[in-house]
Chains A and B, each alone.
Chain A
Amino acid sequence: MLSANDLECVRGTRRLFAGVSFALSPGECLLVQGPNGSGKTSLLRILCGLARPEKGEVRWNNEPIAELDQEYRAALVYCGHSNALKEDLTPSENLLAAAALAGEPAGDGAASAALDAFGVGHLDALPVRALSQGQKRRVGLSRLALSARRLWLLDEPLASLDVRATQALAGLVDAHLERGGIAVLTSHQPIELRAEIRVFAFS
């Protein structure tokens, strides 16, 4: 269970948002919406613990994430704006390195299955630098298919994805929610899930 209590975020001298509160139980998905620059990314970075809120706190299973520290980090996957891929490595080398670092070592078979889930399995002979923007995004997101983490925090996962990849992602998120996972995502495009989506909108 993830809860945000009265979060306030200040960037420089500008207050981006204040009084943000919500609670998500297993199986729930939160879609964060708002115009550019309204603080969606900042909220996600606070939720994953990379940034600190000016006020308020984030709790995971009723404990502040600052106290859980590594335990909390072992429960989440964060996909940010950048794909966190090494341009000189192939897609599966990237996935395997990321999985090993995350403490979920995976085999070659699992990596290619994850890439196949996003339709980029056939590109595995190429270094990531040779891929298009959308293909890189797919490779970055295929980390999700490899991970058994409870909490997914996805920042603009649909950016530069085509219709088929969007569906693949929706399928993954649905399966994740059905397993009792929690997902928070930001998006400007509509996303269709089987599960009900809760919406949080910045004004």
Chain B
Amino acid sequence: MSSPSVSAAFGGIVRRDLRLAARRKSEPLFTLGFFVLVSSLFPLGLGPEPELLRRIAPGVLWVAALLASMLALGRMFTADYEDGTLEQLALAPVPLVASVGGKVAAHWLVSELPLVLVSPLLALQYGLPADVIALLMISLLIGTPALSLVGAIGAALTLGVRGGGVLVALLVLPLYVPTLIFGAGAVDAGLAGMSSAANLSLLGACLIFATVFAPPAAAAAVRIALE
């Protein structure tokens, strides 16, 4: 009896989820639209004061990305849970961690990578200089995978729970705090003309920590939800 390798299972899930996203483009676009709108509301609400806007930009953009990424979490496992494919993932002869990792990777590519890519445009509204914009992208590029990974735990824990969308926010937002602090801190430091190496290193540490611990935790939560 042949058994697929872990990497084949991972790749298979990523390919399937990307194909599904390509068939149904609207959902990732909602997340992106939310990010764009929220981060555009602040300049409108606070008025055209370049100094103020520049100063709040790192925090505002990071919080907007965080909320947008949380908005997308509900979709990570629910569809598979409802149509029965999650059961089949759990019954596949590979560790469930591999499939869950594949789902997280696909989720990041579909829902979070677009946020990173449009962030420079939004940063222009706040009058950030080019080198700080680059720093913002780098911090989001390191930080958003950590958000997806940590979010997967919350998404898996709230499977099958009524009102899971709000609960997932309550569960996951506190866990997002370190990523937010180091991510926004890195951009802040760059804006103040200081080195952001320390913040970026800590952000990287968050990502490594999440990569190691989040997939097994999310896989265990999925198993509990299926039982």
Task: Show the binding face of A for B, using Cβ within 8 Å.
Answer: 48-52, 70-71, 73-76, 78, 80-89, 93, 97-98, 100-105, 127, 149
Contact = CB atoms under 8 A, between A and B. Distances in A.
Contacts, number: 90
24 contacts: A48-B91, A50-B90, A50-B226, A50-B227, A70-B93, A70-B94, A74-B3, A82-B82, A84-B88, A86-B20, A86-B85, A87-B83, A88-B20, A89-B19, A97-B12, A98-B85, A101-B4, A101-B89, A101-B92, A101-B94, A103-B4, A103-B8, A105-B4, A127-B23
A75 B3 CA distance: 10
Nearest to A74: B93
Interface string B66-91: 00000000000000001111011111
B16 A97 contact: yes
Interface residues of B, number: 29
Contacts of B16: 86, 89, 97
Contacts of B3: 70, 74, 103
B13 interface: yes
A86 B15 CA distance: 13
B25 to A, nearest CB: 11
B93 A102 contact: yes
A173 to B, nearest CB: 19
A49 B93 contact: no
A84 B83 contact: yes
Given A101-B9, A101-B13, A83 B23 contact: no
A102 B94 CA distance: 8
Contacts of A75: 1
Interface in B79-135: 82-85, 87-95, 99
B100 to A, nearest CB: 13
